[in-house]
Amino acid sequence: MNRKNLRSILATAAGVIAGFFIFVIPFLFMLVNSLKDRKSANKLSISLPETIHLENFAEVIREQNYMLLRAYKNSFILAFFSIILLILFSSMAGYVLQRRSDRRMSAASALILAGLMVPPAIMPTIWVLQTLGIYKTMFGMILIEVALHTPFTVMLYRGFMASIPVELEDASYIDGCSGWKTFWTVVFPLLKPVSATVTILNAVSVFNDFMNPLYFLPGSKNVTLQLTLYSFIGQFSSSYHLLFADVILIVLPMLILFFILNDRIVDGMTAGAVKG
């Protein structure tokens, strides 16, 4: 074994160990305490529960007139439609930016890159939403999420598009397909790996978004999953078993989604670096 391979193995092992301590242990800590009674959970130890209390999850779900179920519905609606719009519009934008090179495309790329660096302005955005009559609405919140995640998503699609041979599109044009039909029938089906990456990254970001729903989607009927945690922190400040149960219920959907799409995530992130 040469020195280069040894360094690679050591770096991989260090990454696995770091990930275990940063992600796995905190999750296990919350999981075991969510299954304890109140007295045992308040000790904040990682020891296994003597008796498993699954009723903690049922109690959290029933709290505040089933607020957690409303939050699930709102968060799923917000994430689903935001991701659909991001995939549709960002894939088209990334395709055009990758295949065309002129001053207008350079200006568009610079504008998109600026979106990665310029922070959103809260009060002007609220004023715009109020003027359009979509403040405190799910439609307005979806537009906010799409606008915030478009720059990064377009860059992902643009990078991945470089790995798709132009000859496939040329053959489609020879067969008589228009540019629009070529994109949807030839190019778009090849974007499944990066679309899976876009789905998991943006779904996690939207699900974990706390500040934007707090500002742009206030109201008990509009509560999202992260806002339930904000509410329960005060309510369950001395009941860690219920607080941890709420955290587990919030994390669970994204954890399942990650395991489903795990095989495609790395492909979507790295394919654009293979060809430039």
pLDDT, residue 113, reads 82
39 is written with which tokens?
A: 């007295």
pLDDT, residue 276, reads 41
| Domains along the sequence of the chain with CATH | 55-275 (1.10.3720.10)
**Residue 66: which of 228, 184, 244, 264 has the closest Cα?**
228
pLDDT, residue 166, reads 86
Global pTM reads 0.81
- Residue found by looking up tokens 């800590």 in the block: 29
- With b for 16 or more beta-carbon neighbours within 10 A and e for fewer, the 226-257 pattern comes to bbbbebbeeebeebbbbbbbbbbbbbebbeeb
pLDDT along the chain (276 residues), means of 10: 72 82 85 87 83 87 86 92 95 89 84 82 90 92 94 90 85 83 89 87 87 88 85 74 87 80 61 47
3-state SS of the chain is CCHHHHHHHHHHHHHHHHHHHHHHHHHHHHHHHHCCCHHHHCCCCCCCCCCCCCHHHHHHHHHHHHHHHHHHHHHHHHHHHHHHHHHHHHHHHHHHHHHCCCHHHHHHHHHHHHHHHCCCCHHHHHHHHHHHCCCCCHHHHHHHHHHHHHHHHHHHHHHHHCCCCHHHHHHHHHCCCCHHHHHHHHHHHHHHHHHHHHHHHHHHHHHCCCHHHHHHCCCHHHCCHHHHHHHHHHHCCCCHHHHHHHHHHHHHHHHHHHHHHHHHHHHHHHHHHHCC
